[in-house]
Amino acid sequence: MRLEDSEERGAAMTAKLSALEIQQQERLAQRRARKLSLPYMELFAFPIEPAALSLVPRATAQATGAVVFYKRGRDIRAAAVNPADTKVQAVLADVERRLGTLPAVSVISEHSLQFALSRYPRESRGPSGPRDELPVAADLLTRAAAELQRVAAAAGGPLSLSPTELLTIILAGALQMRATDIHLEPGQTAVQLRYRIDGVLQPIITLDLDMGQKLLSRIKVLAQLKLNVHAVPQDGSFVVRVGSERTDVRVSVLPGGVGEYIVLRLLSRRDAVLSLDALGMKARDLAVVQAELKQSTGMILSTGPTGSGKTTTIATCLTAVNQPGLKVVSLEDPIEYRLAGVEQTEVDAPAGYTFAAGLRSILRQDPDIIFVGEIRDGETAETSVHAALTGHLVFTTLHTNDAPGAILRLREIGLALYVLAPAINLVIAQRLVRVLCPDCAKSYRPDARLREHIRDVMAGVDRTFFDPSVLDDPALRFRKSSGCRVCVQTGFRGRTGVFEVFSVHDEIEQLILAGADVSKIREAAIRSGMTTIAQDAYLKVLDGITTVEEVARISEE
């Protein structure tokens, strides 16, 4: 029997266990613990860290019934169904040999073990050993664009490239052009290759269907996916190495209309966690955020559509507030950034570790600061707000278009006004705009219509940020994108945030408490100095950082 099959059966078996059987298992585990004079524990109540789990490979954990679930400095904790087993002793001795500390061991039930096994990071599931590595010659990076053109020119004709060579060129091109994702999309007659650069998909070349098919097979083998499975989504990963620098590549294959869609995500290319002042906030917004980060209790909300940078903002805030001596725990779906000093846990709904259940077990761990990846349901909202009112600083995200809309969303989810108003400290809504390439941006004089449009949008903005008379200045120039070698013809290099930020005090708190219209909350926020996302974006146009077209693009999101 293949390991994978036994895993699936194990999971199905666990799912069918009745509450009675689980109790029976826990009683047996307690009895074993007493006999061995070791502590007994339930792993469900503990935020298991994927990083600690990885100290014992999943296959070993499954075979021996032993896991390491916690590691903080020399405090390493393991759990085993039967710690007296010599195989378990060997696992613990191996950890000691590698880390210099013998893990403290507790006794757990088979049920707890299955739960721990389900918490292993997805990429290390299954029977696979270490991930495959694809080397890319450093000098190929500089030639990648030309090589891609050569591939495009040969489409339909004979091309003397192996699928591996083609994949190497595609990866080299992506690395060279600062792409975060590579998309291969089969159509009726050809496969389109696109790179996501600064958040926008850019067409690169097309490949003929035969080459696309061979490329798909090569990627599947590298990512340890099943070659003969075409009808269901598959996820895997491999590593691309240039010199000594390794980049994780997450592979997602989805069945599509005419073939399988492939997306390769280049993980180390993602925006790194920034310092607060590098997020792109103007001084007023930054000051409001920094004041609220000094609080030790209350809720900080970050809102926006997918890909708006809201998780980056929260990760940056968490990094800013985290200090030794504080316990910071996160519950995410999935974990997007590895944050030093934060106990990060990942939602695993099939294993029962939902946002609501996970949050309850995190609260039993006596945290100071909690990051709830997203509020989607009433129970999570309720528990989060309760935590914010009882001495925790709670960070979370919501899918709403603007900052005042976050209040409405939480009201719709079912939160009472009298808990909402005192719980929320700060609301940040945001989008990302692309930053013009300084090497090729061109300046132009905005025409009268555009200037009047901006005058309308900017009405009511505090004079310290915007003086309408600049629109009448004949010397006024905006900048537009062009394209050069440095920015790989996109006209842009990197992205920055545009924000609307308000803190909940005095007037706004009273309005929320009274159940006021969102429009009233918005007006009060603007009176307190908030600029809307569109206004903040135009401030960045006036500063020559981004373009009018970028403002239009984010307005449609």
Nearest to 429 by CA among 247, 304, 246: 304
Dihedral over Cα of 413, 417, 423, 428: its sign: positive
> Please, which residues bridge with residue 207 across strands?
191
| Under rule CB under 5 A, residue 484 binds Zn ion | yes
CB of 541 to Zn ion, least distance (A): 18
437 touches Zn ion (CB under 5 A): yes
Write down the least CB distance from residue 482 to Zn ion, Å: 6
- State how beta strands 298-303 and 328-332 pair: unpaired
In whole angstroms, the minimum distance from the beta carbon of 198 to Zn ion comes to: 12
Q: Which residues pair with 546 in a beta bridge?
A: none
Q: State which of residues 439, 452, 473, 549 lies at the interface with Zn ion (CB under 5 A).
A: 439
**Minimum CB–partner distance for residue 195 and Zn ion (Å):** 16
Stretch of 10-18, 125-133, 268-276, 432-440 lying at the interface with Zn ion (CB under 5 A):
432-440
Interface stretch with Zn ion, choices 165-173, 267-275, 439-447, 498-506 (CB under 5 A) = 439-447
Backbone φ and ψ of 96, nearest 5°: -60, -40
Comparison of 178 and 399: residue with beta carbon closer to Zn ion: 178
Stretch that binds Zn ion, among 75-83, 121-129, 263-271, 486-494 (CB under 5 A): 486-494
In the bound state with Zn ion, the residue whose beta carbon lies nearer, of 4 and 439, is 439
CA distance 429 to 502: 9
Total residues at interface with Zn ion (CB under 5 A): 6
Question: Could you tell me the two tokens for 3?
Answer: 């390991």
136 binds Zn ion (CB under 5 A): no
Minimum Å gap between C-beta 486 and Zn ion is 5
CA distances from 61 to 2, 56, 104 (A): 16, 6, 16
The minimum distance between CB 206 and Zn ion, in angstroms, equals 25
Helices assigned H by DSSP within 364-505? 378-389, 403-413, 417-423, 448-457
Structure tokens belonging to residue 124: 């290390």
Token pair belonging to 300: 């900080």
Query: 356 and 349 in contact (C-beta within 8 Å)?
Result: no
Is residue 429 close enough to count as binding Zn ion by CB under 5 A? no
Tokens standing for residue 542: 């006036």
Supply the Cα-derived Rg of the chain in whole angstroms: 27
Among 300, 435, 487, 525, binds Zn ion (CB under 5 A): 487
Stretch that binds Zn ion, among 162-170, 206-214, 479-487, 517-525 (CB under 5 A): 479-487
Q: Which stretch binds Zn ion (CB under 5 A): 231-239, 330-338, 447-455, 484-492?
A: 484-492
Closest residue to Zn ion, judged by C-beta, is 437
Q: Which regions of 119-216 does DSSP assign to beta strands (E)?
A: 133-135, 179-186, 190-197, 200-208
For residue 440, state whether it binds Zn ion (rule: CB under 5 A). Answer: yes
**Residues binding Zn ion (CB under 5 A):** 437, 439-440, 484, 486-487
